[in-house]
Amino acid sequence: MKCRSFTNGDSRAYTIKEKNFNTQKRARALKLVRRIHTMKIAFDVDVLAKQMDINRMVHQVADWGYKYIEQSPHPRINPFYKHPLFSEECEKEYRKALRETGVEISSFIVVYRWSGPTEEQRRFAVANWKRMIEIAVDMGVTVINTELSGDPNQQEICNGMWFRSMEELLPVIEREGIRVEIQSHPYDFCELNNETCDLVKSFRSKNLGYVYSSPHGFFYDEGKGDVRSMLRYAGDELTHVLFADTFNQTLDCRYIANPPWLNGRGKADVTIHQHLAMGEGDVDFEGIFETLRHMDFADKQRKENAPKAGGDNIACVSMFGFPEKMDKQAPEARERIEKELLGK
């Protein structure tokens, strides 16, 4: 088994195992992953996209036993903050790899400045959104996952701009029949779980959902880490969970920054978190899995009166920090989710 060295933006070389691909065997194996349950288990390919081309990226996800890809921002497809690209050449490469492996795209992630704080940024972001919705529809992808964005130091103006953007975009989202899912991210204009849920709920739309990102959870309730309470508050709005571990930034010396005043409960004019493998940080995953089972998260969208449009709920493995560990950690994460939520 040969190894190939890849380099990310920090010029650090990592090694990803290069395998001899047998397309037919892989496609047959992926069929075995199909379950009675409709919940999709996806892998966020951010950890791969910086190191290999799209074809290799899709094949690698298939080798780890995943049926679905969550396509996070990619420089050739949906770059951070900028207008979507996705040339004809790029689309053909992606579609070919999907056909060869039997893998599907469960969802796109986009990050745009649709909450400003300037009106020019907001207008550009809305244009980006409209093109990205076209791409998703053309690719048969019914879910787009996004962040509130904005600036925590300008919450009032960013809140207003976000609602203005939603007024323009929600009719397009509903017309196309897709589901847009909102998460708050550290350093967004809103970082709190319950407040973000209330923002989503305020539209009373089947085409909007809520993303609970476990590596952001200590920001969601200011360091308490009460995952059960947060998930229950989301209720039927919860359509997507991101699985990765992190440390509680509010605890002393979990992270150390200099000068020392930057350590004030993990909040200055910066935020810090990680996307580690489950069990490597402080997140209460037992609480997450137990609550999701109680909420019937895996099966909820298969019911006749499903609460949301856009198809199945999604459980996504969202580990970024250590590409050199992924050959072991990516399959382990999938297997744990299958065991905990699908009873496999």
Q: Is the dihedral of CA 302, 41, 223, 210 positive or negative?
A: negative
3-state secondary structure 198-212: HHHHCCCCCCEEEEE
- For residues 254 and 333, the model is more confident at 333
How many Å apart are CA 342 and CA 3, to the nearest integer? Answer: 34
Q: What is the pLDDT of residue 219?
A: 86
Determine contact, residues 219/184, Cβ cutoff 8 Å: yes
Q: What is the pLDDT of residue 16?
A: 44
For residue 161, give the DSSP letter.
H
Q: What is the pLDDT of residue 325?
A: 95
What are phi and psi for residue 319, nearest 5 degrees? -100, 125
The number of distinct structural domains making up the chain is 1
The string of pLDDT tens digits covering residues 263-296 is: 555 455 778 888 999 999 999 999 999 999 999 9
How many Å apart are CA 95 and CA 54, to the nearest integer? Answer: 10
> 238 pairs with which residues across the strands?
210
Amino acid making up residue 221: D
3-class secondary-structure state, position 15: strand
* CATH number, domain containing residue 187: 3.20.20.150
The pLDDT of 301-305, averaged and rounded, is: 88
Q: Which of 313, 334, 296 is nearest to 106 (CA)?
A: 313
Boundaries of domain holding 176: 3-342
> Global pTM?
0.87
Confidence band, pLDDT 50/70/90 cuts, at residue 50? confident
Q: What is the pLDDT of residue 271?
A: 82
Give the chain's mean pLDDT: 88
Residue 326 reports pLDDT greater than 90:
yes
The string of pLDDT tens digits covering residues 141-193 is: 999 999 999 999 999 999 999 999 999 999 999 999 999 999 999 888 999 99
For residue 28, CA distances in Å to 32, 70, 87, 93, 225 come to 7, 21, 30, 21, 41
Confidence band, pLDDT 50/70/90 cuts, at residue 257? confident
Whether a cis peptide bond, with omega within 30° of 0, leads into 79 is no
What's the chain's Rg over C-alpha atoms? Answer: 19
